[in-house]
Structure 1
Amino acid sequence: MKTPAALQALIDDGVIDEVLRPLKSGKEAAVYVVRSGDDIRCAKVYKDMAQRSFQQRVQYQEGRKVRGSREARAIGKATKYGRKQQETAWKNAEVDALYLLRDAGVRVPEPYGYYHGVLVMALVTDADGFSAPRLGEVALSPEQARDFHAVLMRQVVRMLCCGLIHGDLSAYNVLVGPDGPIVIDFPQVVSAAGNNAARQMLLRDVNNLTASLGRWAPELLDTWFGEEMWALFEAGDLRPDTVLTGVFAHDERRADVAGVREAIEEARQEALIRQQGREAAAQDD
């Protein structure tokens, strides 16, 4: 096939030797099967912001760190330089997350490097050496579904213990290898502590997986793993080896809205009285 322009630099630098075929093209990137020496790998070429259709980027970027105050100000002002820095930070997010999660024992593709804006990784294959199918494309027995669910909940816990939430996890971001499920696609990864929507995204990730696997093992639909792990995380009690039950006691007490409003009004009145006192004192001077 004709070598994509984004991959020619990797061939010129000797990182890869040949582009074999396209693997998939999604909303954020195009992935190609490549050869590096005797090894078959994959190369992920990120699309520029103008070409991407991924929505709600601002929500996902909240809490992400940038190199310095100048970059942060430029991103906040949406200058040309700021947009460039934002684009760089977005592309680096998956690379950084992949290495961090790999080192933490999360089942992710082995990263081999990031060159000229291209991420080179291990190609996940099935037992016959073909590209591994996505979880949403395979039929499972109830036992397999339960086993896969347990494995994936463990991966989500390990990610959370690293301070990260996938943010877009579903049966179509999980590949089924010979040894079980492997989680992929992390460009939208969010900070568990720095993003106001972190809990919502975690619950959505867990619920997406549970709903998919619950097709084959319906009892999974009655579990509450997301709520359980978030409560443990908030309390500082979540560990990579924490044993989860899927049982969670919801707080069904009604919020005291009137009491909250009364407290806010009292605080406002107190602040007003203090301000008036300061102004009176200033006039006396």
Structure 2
Amino acid sequence: MKKELEEAISRFNSKHIELNVIKKLPSGKEAEVYLVESKTQLFALKVYKERLKRSFKNDQVYTQGKFYRRASERKAVRLNTGFGKALKQRLWIKREFYLLKKLFDAGANIPEPIEMVPNAILMKYIGDREYPAPLLKDATLTPKQIEKYYKVIKQDIDIFWKNGIVHGDLSEYNILYWKGKIYIIDFPQSVDVRNNSNAEALLARDKKNIDSWYQKVKKEV
């Protein structure tokens, strides 16, 4: 992953964004995340693994509805050539950044996206220099807080849907809790409502996952 990280840092430098890597943070299956600093401000740098190193389950369910402009691009993707793989990677990252901006501007509780390069996204860091924000699954909440954040998450799901997006993999494992707020993360498997026939099924699964978390934690307090 060192090569991809160095490439991302270099590309941000070319955009006059100088980043100093502090440490690696807990990461997911599609990318590695680093705590970085720029002009005394802390950010999270999400550097994507090469397509061959990523292992999305049921990938075709999520990629349905992603389009390529030229016939040559569609053919390369269909034949899974080296160019086609690189094209899918760039589109995936660009698309995630675009929808993050869209959802943040719509008022959804997500980390603010700052900038992107072809293999990485820079976003607001949630946490402090010593520790990142805990996942919702690890947060200690009062009954009142459980009710509050359950409603907030359901509202965010509605904001996503109204903006044509379904998270597609939502659970207490990809929601951060920090200083009285929640932040939904990990959007690479999100889908476009307009042109993905699986959108409603994925929406129902997201809601079911959050309902299950709610019922579970209510019994534990």
SS state of the match for residue 116, structure 2? Answer: strand
- Counting only pairs closer than 5 Å after superposition, residues 1-285 of structure 1 correspond to structure 2 as 4-10=5-11, 12-13=13-14, 14-125=16-127, 130-217=131-218
TM-score by length of 2: 0.89
| Coordinate RMSD, CA, aligned | 2.2
Q: CA deviation digits over 1:214-253, x for unaligned, max 9?
A: 21225xxxxxxxxxxxxxxxxxxxxxxxxxxxxxxxxxxx
SS state of the match for residue 88, structure 1? Answer: helix
Q: Give the CA deviation at 1:72.
A: 2.8
SS state of the match for residue 121, structure 2? Answer: strand
Larger Rg: 1
Q: CA deviation digits over 1:18-62, x for unaligned, max 9?
A: 100001222100000000101011100001111112221111000
Distance 1:8 1:120 in 2: 10
Distance 1:125 1:79 in 2: 40
Distance 1:109 1:181 in 2: 10
User: Contact between 1:6 and 1:118, CA under 8 Å: does it hold in 2?
Assistant: no
User: Contact between 1:106 and 1:155, CA under 8 Å: does it hold in 2?
Assistant: yes
Q: Give the CA deviation at 1:129.
A: 7.9
CA shift in 2, pair 1:17/1:137, >3 Å: same
TM-score by length of 1: 0.70
Distance 1:27 1:51 in 2: 9
Q: Which moved more, 1:80-89 or 1:96-105?
A: 80-89
Structure 2 unmatched ranges of 5 or more: none
Distance 2:7 2:136 in 1: 29
Q: Give the CA deviation at 1:210.
A: 1.4
Structure 1 unmatched ranges of 5 or more: 219-285
User: Contact between 1:9 and 1:116, CA under 8 Å: does it hold in 2?
Assistant: no
- Aligned residues: percent identity? 31
Distance 1:86 1:198 in 2: 20
Q: Give the CA deviation at 1:145.
A: 1.2
Count of aligned pairs: 216
Distance 1:6 1:146 in 2: 43
Q: Give the CA deviation at 1:142.
A: 2.1
Distance 2:82 2:70 in 1: 17
Amino acid at match of 2:103: L
